[in-house]
């Protein structure tokens, strides 16, 4: 797929768009801390840097892309409100961004979305419409509601301003810690990985960019290997934020050009990584947020002696589920 051909059909963001997003987010999004751990370094025999987006507003990196997208709308479009589909983190982020701009927001969520994420989305003022992820098409429902209300659709990952906003997390990481050998990023629909790749290529051109998916949903790995977007059935994994069936069309050209590899990790590895962060770093990271760290800390990515930056993408897991997952592994 030739990049110039794709750009005639889609708006593919660049690092200039990431920099513009940084300007919009300044003083609004948290500049989240970069955490380190001697124990983690010893486990991986490498120098590890964890960008703690679980401490971001609304509990995940998604706030960056959501706020940037709402802020980028012209005033007339913004006044008509926004609509999106999401399993949770984008839902909360867009609802919060809409509230900060004083506009309406409708979120289409799967019936099995975590209760905590549904409650938080409603708490930020959004209207929630449920659908069955296994029998209904969320995009069809979203388009219908957007047409009825003349609202703007802000997709969770397949959208240029979302991608640019997500790229600001990796930009902050690299600007803080300096040169890195690897940038490892969770992968669902590809918005975070695409944005991160834009930042890495501009700020740390020598580093390798690696995405990490759950084993049950390796559409990204298959797509990168095949050179075209591969669609899979709805995967089942505890990484609920990465249960996508295909990489976004805006994301894939960036991934194909700038991502070096895509790896997978098991649910068991995710749970063990969640436990590590809770016990050693005293932070709660949701399963999806642990994807990158699990690949590094369980040796899926060979990075001995390297400087490795990772994004902990979110912390929105209800405590009942969190405790049950950790207890199940102890049994």
CA 270 to mean position of chain CA atoms: 16
- For 24, the 3-state DSSP assignment is helix
End-to-end C-alpha distance for the chain, whole angstroms:
48
Distance (Å, whole) CA 244 – CA 267: 16
305 belongs to the catalytic site: no
Residues forming beta bridges with residue 264, ordered by sequence position? 213
| Candidates 189, 217, 220, 248; catalytic one | 217
260 belongs to the catalytic site: no
| Candidates 62, 117, 208, 306; catalytic one | 62
**CA neighbor of 295 nearest in space, from 169, 183, 166:** 183
104 belongs to the catalytic site: no
**CA neighbor of 242 nearest in space, from 209, 269, 275, 220:** 220
- Angle among Cα 224, 290, 56 to the nearest 5 degrees reads 105
| Candidates 195, 313, 314, 315; catalytic one | 313
Distance (Å, whole) CA 288 – CA 239: 4
| Candidates 158, 172, 218, 219; catalytic one | 219
74 belongs to the catalytic site: no
Distance (Å, whole) CA 230 – CA 226: 8
**CA neighbor of 210 nearest in space, from 291, 273, 136, 115:** 291
| Candidates 172, 213, 218, 240; catalytic one | 213
| Candidates 87, 196, 199, 223; catalytic one | 87
213 belongs to the catalytic site: yes
Here the tokens at position 290 are: 């642990």
Determine the length of the chain.
Answer: 331
87 belongs to the catalytic site: yes
6 — phi, psi (to 5°)?
Answer: -60, -40
108 — phi, psi (to 5°)?
Answer: -95, 115
Residues annotated as catalytic are 62, 87, 213, 217, 219, 313
């Amino acid at each position: 797929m030739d990049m110039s051909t794709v750009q005639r059909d889609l708006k593919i963001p660049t690092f200039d768009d990431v920099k513009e997003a940084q300007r919009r987010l300044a003083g609004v999004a948290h500049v989240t801390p970069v955490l380190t751990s001697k124990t983690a370094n010893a486990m991986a025999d490498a120098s590890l840097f964890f960008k703690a987006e679980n401490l971001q507003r609304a509990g995940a990196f998604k706030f960056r892309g959501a706020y940037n997208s709402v802020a980028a709308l012209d005033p007339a479009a913004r006044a008509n409100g926004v609509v999106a589909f999401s399993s949770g983190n984008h839902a909360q982020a867009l609802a919060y961004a809409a509230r900060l701009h004083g506009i309406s927001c409708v979120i289409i969520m799967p019936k099995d979305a975590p209760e905590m994420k549904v409650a938080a989305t409603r708490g930020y003022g959004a209207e929630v419409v449920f659908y069955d992820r296994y029998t209904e098409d969320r995009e069809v429902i979203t388009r219908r509601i957007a047409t009825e209300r003349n609202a703007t659709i802000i997709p969770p990952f397949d959208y240029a301003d979302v991608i640019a906003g997500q790229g600001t997390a990796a930009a902050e990481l690299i600007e803080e810690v300096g040169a890195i050998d690897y940038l490892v990023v969770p992968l669902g629909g590809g918005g975070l990985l695409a944005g991160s790749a834009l930042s890495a290529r501009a700020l740390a051109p020598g580093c390798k960019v690696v995405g990490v998916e759950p084993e049950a949903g390796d559409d990204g790995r298959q797509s990168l290997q095949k050179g075209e977007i591969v669609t899979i059935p709805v995967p089942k994994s505890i990484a609920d934020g990465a249960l996508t069936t295909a990489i976004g069309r805006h994301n894939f050209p960036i991934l194909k050009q700038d991502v070096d590899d895509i790896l997978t990790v098991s649910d068991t590895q995710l749970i063990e990584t969640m436990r590590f962060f809770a016990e050693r770093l005293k932070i709660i990271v949701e399963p999806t947020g642990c994807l990158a760290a699990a690949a590094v800390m369980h040796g899926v990515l060979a990075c001995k002696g390297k400087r490795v930056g990772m994004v902990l993408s979110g912390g929105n897991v209800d405590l009942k589920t969190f405790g049950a997952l950790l207890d199940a592994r102890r049994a």
